[in-house]
Structure 1
Amino acid sequence: MTISRRKFLKGTAAAGALAASPFYINSALAQSRELRIYAWAGYITNEMLDDFRAKTGINATFTPYGTNDELLNSLRATDGSGFDIIMPTVDRVPGYLDFDLIQPLDESRINWDGALESAITGSEVGGVVGGKRYFAPSDWGTEAIAYNTEWTNINRDTLSYGDLWKPEHADGVTVRGHSALAGIGLWLEKQGKLPYPFLESYKNETAMRANFDVILKVATEHKHMIAQFWDTENEAQGAFRANGAIIGQTWDSTAFNLIQEGEPIAYAAPVEGAMAWMEGFVMPKNAQNVDAVYEFINWYYTPEAGAMFVKATGYNSTSRGADALLPPETKAFFQNSYTQRDLDNLWWWPIQEPWYVALRNEYQDRYLSA
């Protein structure tokens, strides 16, 4: 992707003052109907729903999903109906347009002063298509290496995705199928073992298939080391709690939540770069309560709402000023997990077009069934 990553991260530290009141729609129509939110499991808490209702007078319901594919398939099954607001990752937004499932946002109705400018600019790749914005950024996070500090011997200075597959981690690795293939791809590329540059192959199906052939061979050779594959947040945490995992390629939230429970877990970025993603608010084409969608986005773009989100998830909010309201343990996790080198070296997921998702799923299925 062509976003300036350093500019994005610098922007997250440059939060300024909010406008006095972001809630300026508050129409009777919005209050007369429920806002139907479809978002990642754990992203919307009762505390957040109560605060949103108190600030706007609007009742909202929350339905969780566990994966981007689950979200897309649900919307395809209903032709973009059933919900008023969804939260895909920005790299998947063009795919929703290919299936005619979403509608552009009216940027004049959003209080952009409440969002980090760097996130707004950074989300233009994927979030703005054909000159129209479909995506209002909400949060960002990473997928890297979580490990048990008592049962592993990790050198954070040289940590690699390849370290997952060291013999001493046998029977103790947890990964997500398709992103494990990406991690192995980054590892092999750094060794000069891929036929095509990995990032560029996201634009060319022939090149990606050739790369995946090499990646799948290596992945299959090490599959015996897997304690558990994960697909959702709960599964990733369960791999460490109950199924013998001592190291894994997981989301940052997995490590954050385990640490809060007192587990001896740490989280670190490998030398190939932590896989970074951005999520945001998108409106399905058949949303019924459009006014309430803008109320919700503007409510979220306040320091208090952004801080509630971070408290619930461990991810990083794009709400301006939220970082100042975070509890000490959340700030400590970020500081302990990322050096400045890590932040400068993030590997952002490229746009994942439908052809790539189909190909990725094909190789993931071959990996899981090998």
Structure 2
Amino acid sequence: MTTIVRRSGIDRRSLLAGAAALGIAAPFVSRRALAQSGTVNIFAWAGYLSDEMLAAFEAQTGIRPVYTPYGTNDELLNQLRAAGGRGFDVIWPTVDRIPNYVELGLVQPIDENRVEWDRIIPSAVEGSAEMGAVVDGVRYQVPSDWGTEALAFDRDQAPLEYGSASYGDIWKPEMEGLATVRGHSGLVGIGLWLEGEGRLPRPMREAFASEEAMREVYDVILAEAIARKANIAQFWSNENEAQGAFRVNGCAIGQTWDSTAAGLAREGLPIGYIAPKEGALAWMEGLAIPSGAENLDAAYTFINWMMTPEAGAMYANHTSINTTAAGAEEFLSEENKAFFAAAYPGDALDRLWWWPIQESWFVARRNEYQDRFLSA
């Protein structure tokens, strides 16, 4: 699998070359991890860890994994903040939100001597540093996976093709009552559509740079969103809600995660997933250690295990999200490869729109605009 982060040091060639060069030489689990005992408490996205993965980790390491799921970045941050950084040994935030955790003292620096970096595609390590994993020269996260938010569509009711597919398709008059988006990222999708049509006062990325620029851009976006709100049949905030919009509530088009569409397709629904011409919203995630973690040895064992080719492939095959584990492509399912090829044809990987770092002020203002959209 390949990716590109031009602004963050990752490009398609370097990632592909890094994976090929590293191959699958790393053992499934290091000797240091064997014969351990104890527990590791993992707070991760709902659906990320399968029973197969949890059983394999315990069998290989002797450590019992306790997996607690959450549905959104805000849920993770709020719960960890309420607990003062305690209760979990490993968390799984998106890289652009790591500065929020550092600001609040909720994560501890990564002991880089305890991470087996040769298991990770080098360009992912380098790129993550510029995307939020490194704050003031200190690393707080190990990159583990990346994915996108783009266009999910019913092949019969709202067929889309790469090159013409656009975030604007969600807001066409004929999609009234048939669309689903997440509040805050749906506004970004509208912004990219309007930017492509020359209708924003400044580029979308500048909205992340200052509050003044954000309000200037988001006032235009919000007005467009409210004017077209009749298209929305259901808003979503987590995976279950996004899938339910298509499965239960009759949606034919939406802006969703890649895993949302892949899961629906596995159920036999005629749901496709395609990157729009404005660029799929791309994110990177990784593993971090809360400031109050009690089982540090087990935490690092889990991090290093997740970066083995076999574990990375189990994760990717289970979620349809892309792993950063080098050599994992050797173990990917044909279904996974086909989904990836259909979602990112042509130059789609070169056009990915990577989320900028979302500082605390931006998250607060973002939620303000989202609430105004939802309540309009």
TM range (shorter): over 0.9
Contact 1:11 1:117 in 2 (8 A): no
Name the SS of the counterpart of 1:279 in structure 2. Answer: strand
1:159 maps to what in 2?
165
1:247 maps to what in 2?
253
Query: Equivalents in 2 of 1:20, 1:261: separation in Å?
Result: 34
Q: 2:73 aligns with which of 68, 75, 80?
A: 68
- In the alignment, structure 1 residue 98 sits paired with structure 2 residue 99: no
- Report the residue type matching 2:54 in the other structure: L
- Report the residue type matching 2:23 in the other structure: G
Q: How does 1:35-54 map to 2 (within 5 A)?
A: 35-54=40-59
Specify whether residues 27 and 132 from structure 1 end up closer, same or farther in structure 2 by C-alpha distance, changes over 3 A only: farther
- In the alignment, structure 1 residue 178 sits paired with structure 2 residue 188: no
Query: Equivalents in 1 of 2:78, 2:305: separation in Å?
Result: 28
Specify whether residues 210 and 11 from structure 1 end up closer, same or farther in structure 2 by C-alpha distance, changes over 3 A only: farther
Number of aligned residue pairs: 368
Name the SS of the counterpart of 2:33 in structure 1. Answer: coil
Query: How far apart are residue 17 of structure 1 and its match?
Result: 3.2
Query: How far apart are residue 172 of structure 1 and its match?
Result: 0.4
Name the SS of the counterpart of 2:285 in structure 1. Answer: strand
Specify whether residues 46 and 155 from structure 1 end up closer, same or farther in structure 2 by C-alpha distance, changes over 3 A only: closer
- Report the residue type matching 1:196 in the other structure: R
- Report the residue type matching 2:230 in the other structure: H
Contact 2:24 2:328 in 1 (8 A): no
Query: How far apart are residue 154 of structure 1 and its match?
Result: 2.3
Instruction: Give the CA RMSD over aligned residues.
Output: 1.6
Ranges of 4+ aligned residues in structure 1 off by more than 6 Å: none
Query: How far apart are residue 49 of structure 1 and its match?
Result: 1.2
1:362 maps to what in 2?
368
Q: How does 1:112-151 map to 2 (within 5 A)?
A: 112-125=117-130, 126-151=132-157
Contact 1:37 1:61 in 2 (8 A): yes
- In the alignment, structure 1 residue 109 sits paired with structure 2 residue 114: yes
Contact 1:27 1:291 in 2 (8 A): no
- In the alignment, structure 1 residue 77 sits paired with structure 2 residue 82: yes
- Report the residue type matching 2:323 in the other structure: S
Query: How far apart are residue 303 of structure 1 and its match?
Result: 1.3
Query: How far apart are residue 223 of structure 1 and its match?
Result: 0.6
Where in structure 2 are there 5+ consecutive unaligned residues?
Answer: none
Specify whether residues 340 and 104 from structure 1 end up closer, same or farther in structure 2 by C-alpha distance, changes over 3 A only: farther
1:353 maps to what in 2?
359
Q: Deviations over 1:228-251 (max 9, x none)?
A: 111100111111011010000000
1:216 maps to what in 2?
222
Q: How does 1:303-342 map to 2 (within 5 A)?
A: 303-342=309-348
- In the alignment, structure 1 residue 288 sits paired with structure 2 residue 291: no
2:24 maps to what in 1?
17
Where in structure 1 are there 5+ consecutive unaligned residues?
Answer: none
Query: How far apart are residue 153 of structure 1 and its match?
Result: 3.6
Q: Deviations over 1:38-82 (max 9, x none)?
A: 000001121111111111110110000000000000111011011
Query: How far apart are residue 339 of structure 1 and its match?
Result: 1.6
Query: Equivalents in 1 of 2:106, 2:9: separation in Å?
Result: 29
Q: Deviations over 1:322-362 (max 9, x none)?
A: 11111111111011111240000000000000000000000
Task: Output the TM-score relative to the length of structure 2.
Answer: 0.94
Query: Equivalents in 1 of 2:306, 2:364: separation in Å?
Result: 33
Query: How far apart are residue 20 of structure 1 and its match?
Result: 4.0
Contact 2:10 2:124 in 1 (8 A): no
Name the SS of the counterpart of 2:157 in structure 1. Answer: coil
Q: Deviations over 1:110-148 (max 9, x none)?
A: 111111112111111211112211111111000000100
Query: Equivalents in 2 of 1:170, 1:294: separation in Å?
Result: 49
Moved more, 350-359 or 10-19: 10-19
Query: Equivalents in 2 of 1:72, 1:217: separation in Å?
Result: 29
- In the alignment, structure 1 residue 193 sits paired with structure 2 residue 193: no
Q: Deviations over 1:85-125 (max 9, x none)?
A: 00000000011011111001111111111111121111112
Query: Equivalents in 2 of 1:102, 1:24: separation in Å?
Result: 28
Name the SS of the counterpart of 1:123 in structure 2. Answer: helix
Contact 2:11 2:123 in 1 (8 A): no
Query: Equivalents in 2 of 1:3, 1:269: separation in Å?
Result: 20
- Report the residue type matching 1:211 in the other structure: V
